[in-house]
Amino acid sequence: MIKKSEMLLENWESFVGKGQLKSNGVKDEIYKSWLRCKDYGVEPTDDSRHVSLSKEAFDESLKEKAYLIKIAHPFMLKLYKFVRGTGFVVVLVNEEGYLLELFADEDVWQNPVTKNFFLGASWQEEVAGTNAIGTAMYEQAPVQVSGAEHYCKKHHGLTCSAAPIFDVNGDLLGIVDISGPFEASHGHTLGMVVATAEAIMAQLRIENKNRQLALANKKLLNFFNMVSDGVLIVGEDGSISEMNPAAEVILRREKKDAIGMLIQNMVSPRHRSLGSGCFYLKPCSYIEGIIHTSNGPFDCIISSEPIYNEKEALVGSFITLKQVKQVQKLLDRFGGYTASLQFEDIIGSSFEIRESIRLANLTAINNSNVLLTGESGTGKEIFAQAIHNKSSQCNAPFVSLNCGAIPRELIGSELFGYEEGAFTGAKRGGKPGKFELAAGGTLFLDEIGDMPLEHQTVLLRVIQEKQIVRIGGDKMISVNARLICATNKNLFEEVEKGTFRRDLFYRLNVMAIMIPPLRNRVEDIPLLFRHFLNKLCNDRERTVRVDRSVYEYLKRYSWLGNVRELQNVVERAVNLAENGIIFPQHLPERIRNFQETPSKEEHVVGESLMACRVLTKEAAKETEKNRIIELLNRHAGNVSRVALEMGLSRKTIYNKMKLHEIYK
């Protein structure tokens, strides 16, 4: 041992004096470090105290490495217990070589060998020369440096063993080191330090996994609590072990009361084929179910996913519940069950159309059934959508069904839905009808006059009882959709002919609104023509003008197809207007050649129609006058109450009172 240390000292003296080794007795990593120290300009005989961090910088370093210090502390303490009282120190330095944690005997700073081991001291090779801490930091590998292997003479009395500490990504976090008198050096010391570093890194990995698991658990818990679906975890017997806040709302039960209860006592599938007792033990998606509460049954959508342990044994299940109204909102959004048109979209300034709009506005604020009458193409669906959007149900679905466009045998299934297996071709799981889809909103039945008598009977019962039974089913389903019907037929005449039920007619005819044909509001034709023209030009990014003479042809035409026919005429004219101007020759021949001068018989008919139109206006004015008088009497002359009920401003009411010569 002495001979080896003497040979090492001779090599050190030769290197620091002549820059070369005397023999081959120096380890490769030590020799490389000596070369680096020489390049750094380290003074091998300097005996001054090591440079250190300022108090502020040291405190900041402690703050940055607080987590590493916390993890390393118990392992360093355990290592120190093995060397206590021997003059050895156990230290932790950061990745920059500054000493942050120290375990040592009380006389460590009086011992000349260990006097440079103090908090904040730098042990970089550039400062302290070759040493276990600085060299291990450079090599990023365990290193033992003893006696004259140290580049600086002041450390020749030391034996140091150091091992790097890496984080989970392989980046250097710090160095753990044990240093003491050279006379007490032992080969096992490096192994102890390496084992300590490995233990620290293992704990870092465990802590990192725990953080990841905690974060994942927190994310799952947040998702579990905030998801809009009701989520439950049940055991193999169906007992509830966990549930989220949404499930509390859907089940109408608080978590503390529901835990331990059997899910099969609260939720059951609607279809018997799925079983009601252990439905949760089989995987299923989006099946219709019923929630049983003290306030009665509620509809829901059930999904279930069984849970298996590591031995593939069934131990429970995840169950999700969706409220039917949530599903309906999705259907409304993606299935087109929305109304986009407002009263502002109805084009016209004529008295006839303004009167229809006024009545529709009054109708919109209540929940009464509405019957829209008018010829084909007058815009009955626009009125239906506008009424819906002005009503309190505007955020609920608007579902429409054309009774005249569906085969007779399918109307029932479309309106009322059907259960699984109700008929050949029925969808698995059944299908909700339009009444269910329109729950809380509006159901618009167009061409109601074409509904077969047998379905009229069922419709009447639904209107009266507010409940339906799906085809092939036996459970009553509550429905609360507002009904707006439309027809181009005279339903009273249909009642007299026996093709429409009288009792159903009176049920639907609560609020009747007649949409005037286009020929009865001639002054609106130019407005409508320009509206359709502008819309078409915007869509096609074109500019098209209209010759004034075109409007004369349009005004004298009969317009049996009404607004829809006018819209088609506009599109045809735009397609033909090659030079960007619409002339009469771009109109269809039936409009250009429409007989302008009527025959004697036609003249008489025309005068009669004009007279009827005047009478209609006068009758409407008289109706309005009587309505205002009636409301003034009802509200003891309170104009504000009258204005509120008629949906008009107080100023408008006063103007109408003046027009009709009504005095309070």
Helices (H) and strands (E) in the chain, counts: 24, 20
pLDDT at 602: 44
Closest CA to 370 of 492, 512, 491, 487: 512
pTM of this prediction exceeds 0.85: no
Query: Per residue in 173-186, pLDDT tens?
Result: 999 999 999 987 77
Contact 145, 169 (CB under 8 A): no
All structural domains of the chain with their residue ranges: 2-209, 228-332, 336-516, 519-592, 602-659
Give the integer Cα–Cα distance in Å for 411 and 399.
14
The Cα angle at residue 625 between residues 516 and 389, in degrees rounded to 5:
50
419 burial (CB, 10 Å; 0-12 / 13-18 / 19+) is buried
Query: Per residue in 184-219, pLDDT tens?
Result: 777 789 999 999 999 999 999 999 999 999 999 888
Q: Summarize the confidence of residues 643-651 as an average pLDDT.
A: 71
Q: Summarize the confidence of residues 69-83 as an average pLDDT.
A: 94
Which of 1.10.8.60, 1.10.3720.10, 3.40.50.620, 3.40.50.1100 would CATH assign to domain 519-592?
1.10.8.60
Q: Summarize the confidence of residues 94-110 as an average pLDDT.
A: 88
Query: Per residue in 226-240, pLDDT tens?
Result: 888 899 999 989 999
Count the residues in the chain: 664
The residues, ordered by sequence, that sit 6+ positions from 614 with a Cβ below 8 Å of its Cβ are none
Give the tokens for residue 262. Answer: 């059997």
What topology does CATH give the domain 602-659? Arc Repressor Mutant, subunit A (1.10.10)
pLDDT at 555: 92
191 burial (CB, 10 Å; 0-12 / 13-18 / 19+) is middle
What topology does CATH give the domain 2-209? Beta-Lactamase (3.30.450)
Q: Summarize the confidence of residues 396-403 as an average pLDDT.
A: 90
Give the tokens for residue 316. Answer: 């429970």
Q: With bands split at pLDDT 50, 70 and 90, how would you rate the model's confidence at 396?
A: confident
Which of 3.20.20.70, 3.80.10.10, 3.90.1150.10, 3.30.450.20 would CATH assign to domain 228-332?
3.30.450.20
Contact 471, 418 (CB under 8 A): yes
Q: With bands split at pLDDT 50, 70 and 90, how would you rate the model's confidence at 336?
A: low
Topology agreement, domain 2-209 and domain 228-332: yes
pLDDT at 335: 55
Which of 3.40.605.10, 3.40.50.300, 3.30.499.10, 1.10.10.10 would CATH assign to domain 336-516?
3.40.50.300
The distance in angstroms from the start CA to the end CA of the chain is 127
Torsional sign, CA 419, 420, 423, 426: positive
Closest CA to 279 of 267, 261, 296, 294: 267
The Cα angle at residue 59 between residues 54 and 65, in degrees rounded to 5:
125
pLDDT at 296: 78
